[in-house]
Amino acid sequence: MTAKGGFARMTEATSAPFTERFMPPRLTPAIDPRSVDDLMDRPQKIVATGVNFFYGSHQALHDVTLHIPQHCVTALIGPSGCGKSTFLRCLNRMNDMIEGTRVEGEILLDDIDIYRPRTDVVELRKRVGIIFQKSNPFPKSIYDNVAYGPRVAGIRQRSELAEIVENSLRRSALWEEVSDRLSESALKLSGGQQQRLCIARALATDPDVLLMDEPASALDPKSTARIEDLIFELKDTYTIIIVTHNMQQAARVSDQTAFFYEGRLVEAGATTDVFTKPRQRQTEEYITGRFG
């Protein structure tokens, strides 16, 4: 479902209250967002200040300042090409891998600048895991996919690895479905299961932050609902930042929403506020499906 089409259908000729418009009937109970006060009171897990980002001479981010509260879900929304993925990848320095790129500004994770020269980038990416739109399990067994990160980190003891694998699969709500076939190829799993496996793989390195770049956009509604429920469960333990084109999804799963447009952060705030009383005209036009 496209953001535009989907949202327009939901809002057409309706004066239904926010919860009914954005929380359509679900397979599972609706998610309670954290309250606005709660959002303000939380410690800031990530503080990005004045971030500019360049692909060669092309500037993809302009002076982005955004605070990410701990144990909340922050949704990044905005039309294609506005810089959501670029910003997300700045948060664990994934963009470093792209030649000719340059970042300016400051990004603090727990008050420490992740771009300072002595940052251990491998360690950073363990603490700030990322899940992509297209699930990308390794062509290995289910077990070996989840054990991959811990093994790279030097964990060799079988019992310890087994415990990490089981815990990670339980936390990603996949254990019940795969516990009796851990040695089978991960590629035999369904798309939704593969995505939860990728989440388990990220959880196995014991991160604090999970970045998700359109994690459900390739999935059917039932698998999408499972991922959304999972996000809700995980936010008690992790800080989550999700890119989505699906306005209903942003409204359902996130506590904070940040709207990007042409490389700039136009507006960020509590999700209920951004969707019901956006401060900027561009935000309103986007969330009501008038462009994008």
Stretch that binds Mg ion, among 65-73, 82-90, 114-122, 160-168 (CB under 5 A): 82-90
Cβ count within 10 A of residue 122: 10
Tokens representing residue 65 in the block: 């300042």
Given the DSSP bridges, would you call strands 44-55 and 101-109 parallel, antiparallel or unpaired? Answer: antiparallel
Stretch that binds ligand ATP, among 21-29, 80-88, 153-161, 171-179 (CB under 6 A): 80-88
Q: How far apart are CA 102 and CA 272, in angstroms?
A: 34
Determine the 3-state secondary structure of 50 from DSSP: strand
Determine the 3-state secondary structure of 205 from DSSP: coil
Could you tell which of Mg ion, ligand ATP, none binds residue 187, using a CB distance below 5 to 8 A set by kind? none
Tell me if 58 contacts ligand ATP by CB under 6 A: yes
Tell me if 244 contacts ligand ATP by CB under 6 A: no
Residues 86-145 that bind ligand ATP (CB under 6 A): 86, 98
Stretch that binds ligand ATP, among 40-48, 76-84, 191-199, 219-227 (CB under 6 A): 76-84
Tell me if 81 contacts ligand ATP by CB under 6 A: yes
* Helices 142-152 and 158-171: angle between axes, nearest 10 degrees: 120
Determine the 3-state secondary structure of 165 from DSSP: helix
Tell me if 157 contacts ligand ATP by CB under 6 A: no
- Out of 51, 71, 85, 246, which residue is the one contacting Mg ion (CB under 5 A)? 85
Supply φ then ψ for residue 142, to 5 degrees: -55, -45
Whose tokens are 């999408």? That residue is 224
By beta-carbon proximity to Mg ion, the closer residue of 85 and 141 is 85
Q: What is the binding site for ligand ATP (CB under 6 A)?
A: 55, 58, 60, 78, 80-86, 98
